[in-house]
């Protein structure tokens, strides 16, 4: 089994020595042919005899055109291209907590694609993890990485182009979070504030993770992306493009531009680029074809302020950010009724988010690290933002 630094930080065989930073964009041909066209920009001759792990975004149970999961034809084209180049290929994912991996593969159309090709689909949560140290980490100093990852020589990150209510966007860099083992993914959302740093810990933690877990190739699927309340509750946004690049930061930056986002405004990309993990300044990236911006189609951002109104719930919001608002909104949409099982029926349930609260009613549900000073008032759920599934668990534990 490989060591994490040997796997991720050794010279990238897909990137010839001295090569500049390049990203290929392909559109108008359908997902399979777009992927093949984008991959023609990469010299795959070096993969002969190597084992390649394709890591799509299939962390949720969703249909191919929902904008939630990677298009199966993009994965199919990647399997075919790497195999034709002489590689041994498998597809692996570790889903979000509570999702059954075979069910997610099936819903995304990958079970059929893989069966037709005799390609292995790996539920990466079945085996144990390998603890990987992050010597340059600021918010986190180690991660638990699914052991399967280390059976391969190359990792290809194949995300869907999505806005993300907590991290701005989720693309090839953040998609590597799906290599983290089981619940350890959640821990990145539960971090305490970083001393002398106002950055959100989750953003710093993703940059920390990518200090080691950087894919050898980013294949960004913009067949149908997601705008608004991504990664799971936004609107599907057809774009009809696929991007390929051996610098995942550069591929993400180009994808951002197509989505109408400046990558320098996405904290985890900016932090990683500032540390030298990749390039996000567009003038430093050679993008082909020259008229690639013809595919640009701005995605709606996650809303700045959400109206959160539910009967018998009083939300006390002081200077919160959209990440806590959207987490709370989605939590209440899904679990509001269950919440009443744990609170007395006299009067509304008070829920606080954001910073600077004073005089909260006794018994208030305080959500997110910003409310930590008020935790004595009721039930405190840590996280920045807190994780929806954790809220009910903490409430149930009293």
In whole angstroms, the minimum distance from the beta carbon of 338 to ligand SF4 comes to 22
Of 45 and 265, CB closest to ligand SF4 = 265
Other Cβ atoms closer than 10 A to 269: 31
DSSP E strands, the chain: 22-27, 51-56, 88-93, 120-123, 129-133, 142-146, 154-158, 160-164, 168-170, 217-227, 235-245, 286-288, 313-318, 349-354, 364-367, 378-381
Contact set with ligand SF4 (CB under 6 A): 200, 320-321, 323-324, 353-354, 368-370, 384-385
In whole angstroms, the minimum distance from the beta carbon of 7 to ligand SF4 comes to 32
Measuring CA to CA, which residue among 358, 368, 361, 362 is closest to residue 388? 368
Of 165 and 180, CB closest to ligand SF4 = 165
Of 56 and 385, CB closest to ligand SF4 = 385
Of 245 and 378, CB closest to ligand SF4 = 378
Measuring CA to CA, which residue among 368, 308, 331 is closest to residue 232? 331
In whole angstroms, the minimum distance from the beta carbon of 194 to ligand SF4 comes to 12
Of 228 and 382, CB closest to ligand SF4 = 382
In whole angstroms, the minimum distance from the beta carbon of 136 to ligand SF4 comes to 23
Q: 160-164 and 217-227: which strand pairing?
A: parallel
Question: Three-state SS for 304?
Answer: coil
Residue 386 gets the label, from left (phi > 0), alpha (psi -120 to 50) or beta, of beta
Q: 129-133 and 142-146: which strand pairing?
A: antiparallel
Of 162 and 357, CB closest to ligand SF4 = 357
Nearest 5°: the CA angle 217, 222, 225 is 125
Of 248 and 324, CB closest to ligand SF4 = 324
In whole angstroms, the minimum distance from the beta carbon of 223 to ligand SF4 comes to 30
Of 69 and 328, CB closest to ligand SF4 = 328
Q: How far apart are CA 24 and CA 289, in angstroms?
A: 7
In whole angstroms, the minimum distance from the beta carbon of 385 to ligand SF4 comes to 4
In whole angstroms, the minimum distance from the beta carbon of 201 to ligand SF4 comes to 8
- The alpha carbons of the chain give a radius of gyration, in whole angstroms, of 21
Of 79 and 165, CB closest to ligand SF4 = 165
In whole angstroms, the minimum distance from the beta carbon of 370 to ligand SF4 comes to 3
Residues 6+ away with beta carbon under 8 Å from 186? 97, 387, 389, 390
Of 160 and 384, CB closest to ligand SF4 = 384
In whole angstroms, the minimum distance from the beta carbon of 319 to ligand SF4 comes to 7
Q: How far apart are CA 205 and CA 246, in angstroms?
A: 22
In angstroms, what CA-CA distances link 163 with 90, 232, 252, 257, 381? Answer: 27, 10, 12, 12, 25
Q: How far apart are CA 32 and CA 75, in angstroms?
A: 8
Give the CB-nearest residue to ligand SF4.
Answer: 368
In whole angstroms, the minimum distance from the beta carbon of 14 to ligand SF4 comes to 36
- Which residue is associated with the tokens 């986190």? 140
Q: How far apart are CA 8 and CA 105, in angstroms?
A: 26
């Amino acid at each position: 089994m490989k060591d994490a630094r040997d796997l991720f930080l050794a010279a990238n065989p897909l990137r010839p020595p001295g090569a500049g930073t390049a990203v290929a964009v392909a559109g108008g041909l359908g997902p399979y042919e777009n992927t093949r066209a984008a991959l023609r920009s990469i010299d795959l001759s070096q993969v002969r005899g190597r084992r390649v792990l394709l890591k799509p975004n299939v962390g949720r149970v969703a249909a191919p055109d929902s904008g939630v999961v990677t298009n199966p034809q993009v994965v199919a084209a990647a399997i075919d291209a790497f195999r034709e180049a002489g590689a041994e290929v498998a597809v692996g994912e570790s889903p979000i907590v509570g999702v059954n991996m075979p069910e997610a593969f099936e819903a995304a159309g990958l079970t059929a694609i893989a069966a037709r090709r005799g390609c292995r689909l790996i539920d990466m949560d079945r085996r144990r993890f390998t603890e990987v140290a992050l010597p340059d980490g600021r918010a986190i100093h180690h991660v638990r990485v699914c052991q399967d990852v280390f059976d391969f020589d190359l990792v290809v990150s194949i995300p869907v182009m999505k806005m993300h209510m907590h991290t701005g966007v989720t693309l090839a860099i953040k998609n590597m979070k799906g290599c983290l083992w089981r619940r350890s993914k959640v821990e990145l959302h539960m971090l305490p504030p970083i001393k002398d740093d106002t950055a959100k810990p989750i953003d710093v933690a993703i940059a920390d993770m990518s200090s080691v877990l950087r894919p050898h190739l980013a294949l960004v699927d913009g067949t149908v992306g997601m705008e608004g309340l991504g990664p799971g509750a936004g609107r599907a946004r057809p774009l009809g493009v696929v991007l390929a690049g051996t610098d995942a930061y550069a591929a993400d930056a180009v994808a951002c531009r197509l989505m109408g986002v400046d990558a320098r405004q996405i904290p985890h990309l900016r932090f990683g680029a500032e540390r030298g993990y990749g390039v996000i300044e567009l003038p430093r990236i050679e993008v082909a074809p020259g008229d690639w911006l013809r595919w640009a189609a701005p995605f709606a951002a996650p809303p700045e302020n959400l109206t959160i109104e539910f009967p018998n719930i009083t939300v006390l919001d002081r200077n919160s950010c959209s990440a806590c608002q959207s987490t709370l909104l989605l939590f209440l949409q899904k679990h509001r009724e269950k919440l009443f099982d744990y609170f007395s029926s006299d009067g509304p349930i008070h829920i606080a988010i954001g910073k600077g609260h004073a005089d909260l009613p006794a018994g208030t549900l305080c959500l997110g690290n910003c409310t930590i000073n008020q935790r004595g008032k009721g039930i405190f759920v840590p996280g920045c933002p807190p994780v929806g599934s954790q809220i009910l668990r903490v409430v149930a534990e009293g």
